[in-house]
Amino acid sequence: MSPTWSLDRDRPQAGDNGPLQVIDREDGPSGRIVCVIPGHLVWQASLDRVVRLLDEDDVENARLIEAAPQLRDALAALIEWSAVTGG
């Protein structure tokens, strides 16, 4: 069975503060960060003080990355079915 990945917050939307993280919650007690979508730099006062906002593409990409383990399982099942049926 493949890992279940999730986003670090519920229902992210364009305009939300970044970054957005995809986390494998089954990998260790606090999970493992699989991917970070930083968002777009809007304002920077110093190295420590920045504002990043997510756009619609950031949110859609995060959801696609989050679904990767399930998509991989579906593709493996299709390949197996093709081999069995001779397709």
> What tens digit of pLDDT does each residue of 49-66 get?
889 999 999 999 999 999
Query: Which pTM does this prediction carry?
Result: 0.76
pLDDT computed for residue 2 by the predictor = 62
Domain extent for 57: 5-85
| Number of structural domains the chain divides into | 1
The string over 46-80, giving b where at least 16 C-beta atoms fall within 10 Å of a residue's C-beta and e elsewhere, is: eeeeeebebeeebbebbeebbeebeeeeeeeeeee
CA distance linking residue 2 with residue 11, whole number of Å: 23
